Amino acid sequence: MVSIRLGHIKTHTPATRVLLVGGLLILLLAAIRLEAGYLANRRYFKTINNGITALHQQRLADAEHAWLQALIQNPLRPEAYQLLSHLYLQTGHPEQAIPLLSHLYALAPTTPHVLCYLAEAYALTGQEAKLLETARKAVKVEPDCPRAHALLGIAYGNQQDHKEAISELSRAAALAPNDVKIATSLAQAQLDDADLDGAANTIRGVITRNPNYPTAYYVLGWDYARRDPTPSNLQTAIQAFEKLQQLDPSRTDAREELGRLYLLSGNNQKAIAVLHKAWLQGDRSAECAYNLATAYRNIGDRLKASAMLQQYQRISSLTARYNTLLKRAVARPNDIATAIALAQAEVEIGNHEGAVKIMNSVLQTAPTNPIALKAAVEIYKGAGALATAHFYQERLHALTSGDSHK
């Protein structure tokens, strides 16, 4: 606190006294303001620390609540914006991080890595144009930031600009040589550019540093799966995908490829085991059915081979019809019959969410079309939206009842 002895004022002239008293009032007001600011900041940082403690104790909702309170207590400081946005990024809610990071950038554009995290949020929400624009800004603002270069490389890769992707990811890897995620992204970019040897060298370096990193084996498996199917290449690819399954059984996207590789290597029983599991878990592609049919035929099981061949033909026919409908829907966006047929095809291939989106659009355009209402009832039932299905069933009933009285 500022301390002034009032007795000293008496030795000055009236004019001087006025000035000094005025100065005293200003100093007192400033002191009050400073103390109030100190108390406010003390409350603010106490709230921030409460959130950090909650985070360390895995009480994520409490951490979020504390930092939202801090944001209200002092909306001009950056800490709450940073902590909240990082929490949302780490817990799978990047869409909630975007307004916080955007506001922080407008409020304090020199905040370290604000553009990097904003670019990451755009990447996680599939906003490709904003990802590219923001990552470019991030690289200019922080040219020595490996995250900025990595995100820019990923943005270029998404645009199939493999040369620029490799260039930026190489720069990121040089700035952060121990970051296995950046190195793995570089290997993936090299693989996309058909640089199989370069990708293999990069990803083997990742495995040397972290032999239990599942994604590294995913990239290595695909690298050797794309090479000539020599016994050596097949074995390397198979071992990589087997290791992936051991480390992360939830990664089912490479299971069908592993079955194909078993088939190529002559191990029909393993191929059947892997492909049949993939089929039962919903991976019902034409390739999976064809490879299963081939494996069954190779071991002399003609009945199962014939059944899977029929599945292959059915899926191939459905895929061809779906692609035709999709092209027609693009060419005729207002054709309700085509849109309904496309939604029904989505159901047949197991994409109920896609079917619902199409029907939502159709029903906005034609809310009283009886054909659309009938299709909607079946599609919403199939998607498990029973209340919505009942709603459209009632609407259809009211519509047809009204027609019958005419």
One-letter identity of residue 55? L
Ramachandran quadrant class, 142 (left: phi over 0; alpha: psi -120 to 50; beta: rest): beta
The pLDDT mean for the chain works out to 88
pLDDT at 166: 97
**How does residue 25 score in pLDDT terms, banded at 50, 70 and 90?**
very low
Alpha helices, DSSP H only, in 213-267?
214-225, 231-247, 255-264
pLDDT at 403: 53
Predicted confidence (pLDDT) per residue in 94-121, tens digit: 999 999 999 999 999 999 999 999 999 9
pLDDT at 37: 53
Predicted confidence (pLDDT) per residue in 201-215, tens digit: 999 999 999 999 999
pLDDT at 38: 53
Q: What are the φ/ψ torsions at residue 404 (nearest 5 degrees)?
A: -70, -20
Pairwise CA distance, residues 71 & 73, whole Å: 6
**How does residue 349 score in pLDDT terms, banded at 50, 70 and 90?**
confident
Answer yes or no: is pLDDT of 2 > 60.
no
Q: How far is CA 154 from CA 36, 140, 150, 170, 193, in A?
A: 47, 16, 6, 11, 13
Contacts of 374 (CB under 8 A, 6+ apart): 396
pLDDT at 352: 86
Whose tokens are 């393993």? That residue is 270
Q: How many residues does the chain have?
A: 406
Most confident of 121-130, 321-330, 382-391, 394-403: 121-130
Contacts of 147 (CB under 8 A, 6+ apart): 113, 116, 120, 138, 172
The per-residue DSSP string of 360-398 comes to: HHHHHH-TT-HHHHHHHHHHHHHTT-HHHHHHHHHHHHH
The model carries a pTM of 0.74
* 16-25 mean pLDDT: 38
Which of the 8 DSSP states describes residue 125?
T
pLDDT at 385: 87
Answer yes or no: is pLDDT of 57 > 50.
yes
Answer yes or no: is pLDDT of 304 > 70.
yes
Which of the 8 DSSP states describes residue 145?
-
Judged by DSSP in three states, 92 sits in coil
Q: Are 372 and 362 in contact (CB under 8 A)?
A: yes
Answer yes or no: is pLDDT of 122 > 50.
yes
pLDDT at 366: 87
pLDDT at 383: 84
pLDDT at 139: 97
* 386-396 mean pLDDT: 90
Pairwise CA distance, residues 211 & 243, whole Å: 10
* 148-160 mean pLDDT: 96
* 264-283 mean pLDDT: 93
One-letter identity of residue 37? G
* 64-90 mean pLDDT: 95
Which of the 8 DSSP states describes residue 112?
T
Pick 112 or 8 by higher pLDDT. Answer: 112
Dihedral through CA 34, CA 40, CA 42, CA 48, nearest 10?
A: -140
Answer yes or no: is pLDDT of 169 > 60.
yes
Pairwise CA distance, residues 104 & 115, whole Å: 10
